[in-house]
Amino acid sequence: MIARRSESNLPPGPRVPKTMQTIGWWARPTAYLERCRERYGKRFTIRMLAQDPFVLISDPDEIKQVFTAPADVLYPGEGARILEPIVGPNSILLLDEKAHMGQKRLVLPAFHGERMQRLESVITEVTREQIASWPRDQVEPMHPRMQALTMEVILAAVFGLRSGPRLDALRLALTEMLEFGLSPLSLLPPAQRAPWGLGPWAGFVRARARADELIYAEIRERRDRQDDGGSEIITSLLAAEHEDGSPMSDEEIHDELLTLLVAGHETTATELAWALERLTREPEVLARLVAEIDEGDGEPYLTAVIRETLRRRPVLTQAQPRTVKKPIEVGGITYRQRVHLVASAWLVHHDPDIYPDPYAFRPERFLDSEPGTYTWIPFGGGRRRCIGANFAMLEMAIVLRELLRETRIRAGHAGPEFTIRRAITVTPGHGAETVLTDRAA
């Protein structure tokens, strides 16, 4: 009865069968949302196969109500439960209420203060090595290149690993895990992924076992030598203590490290690919950015370019869904259990009432004003805002700055690259095809 009452009180949405809605959601991840908004307004309901209803919202006031709702009313962790086989049950992505806040308090110090400053030189060194190896004067999809770069950055930042057999083995295992994690199969319930224990799911399980072995070995070695003074993120977690003074368990550290390795790799790589896709099609923006970087005073405009990229092409088109656990009123509608409330980053970022000419790429939007808390949400919001947001912004700034200092870039594909879905992310349709030319030439 609860499910039927909540369904009858939901905002209007597409009336076609769930199969068709599911296809629209996955095959046309941004166009489908815009078509629904055009017909039903800034909130609408989507019903997909094997899922409770999703209510998409893009009004900033309603987004604020969702992001600030009590933790025992809306459960964000439940919306990410499908990621548990990848990141583990102790991941900050899956925890709710007191467990989430406790884990967040332990993880946050790794992304602030002196540790972040010390990581800047590591990111710069890795970036320069990677850029030097990239081919010149030929069309090259930059998304795979950025994936390789951000993998090296996150491994160096998390473990301090720059070379050696353990790094090679961990890189391979994580790459195999991520390939499965970005497949639509990863979003199916475990029993449906590989009914006979074969196929991609079996390969993922083997890769996960190898990654687990390597990560736990690294944790044990660091504990044995009482390694808690370095800049690597693992040392911050080893030094962290719960409120009762007890250290994080090996399992907690493992799951948080795996979360950082997975979440801190693919999303940043894809956003960097989108940045190149946009810059190579905006000659005036690119020329100004290069000039300001060359003059040594390019940080404000570079930051504005990154923020505009995150607005115009958010890798995650929706913030983490919130599952209703207790009745809550949002925007005049009372939602009951078994409904997912979803703040749509794509729709709020492309709302002409908020951003005039929303499909234009204009970094100047962010030169004189900070992004709005509930109108610019590429990292989510509220208590669930991505803890690695500052790290991602720093990494993007360093990569773009170093790349534009060393090379000239131009588009390798005529016309804009439209979005295609890779599991929960959206990527450039042609991989951000780009031609790099040495500036010295």
User: Hey, what are 37's tokens?
Assistant: 């908004």
pLDDT at 5: 41
pLDDT at 351: 97
pLDDT per 10-residue tile (average), the chain, 441 residues: 54 95 91 96 94 95 96 79 75 80 84 79 94 96 95 88 83 81 55 53 82 90 73 85 90 89 86 97 97 89 98 94 94 94 97 97 94 96 89 95 97 90 86 94 59
Q: Say whether domain 2-130+141-262+317-378 belongs to CATH 3.30.70.120.
A: no
d(CA 257, CA 263): 10
pLDDT at 117: 79
**Which amino acid belongs to residue 367?**
L
**Which amino acid belongs to residue 176?**
E
Query: Rounded to whole angstroms, what are the CA distances from 263 to 59, 147, 225, 354, 389?
Result: 27, 12, 28, 29, 11
**Which amino acid belongs to residue 228?**
D
What is the residue extent of each domain of the chain? 2-130+141-262+317-378
- Is there a contact between 273 and 427 (Cβ–Cβ < 8 Å)? yes
d(CA 44, CA 36): 7
Type and span of the H or E element at 259 = helix 250-279
d(CA 123, CA 407): 18
d(CA 8, CA 5): 5
**Neighbour-count burial of 114, counting CB atoms closer than 10 A to its CB (0-12 exposed, 13-18 middle, 19+ buried):** exposed
pLDDT at 200: 65
- Is there a contact between 347 and 376 (Cβ–Cβ < 8 Å)? no
pLDDT at 24: 92
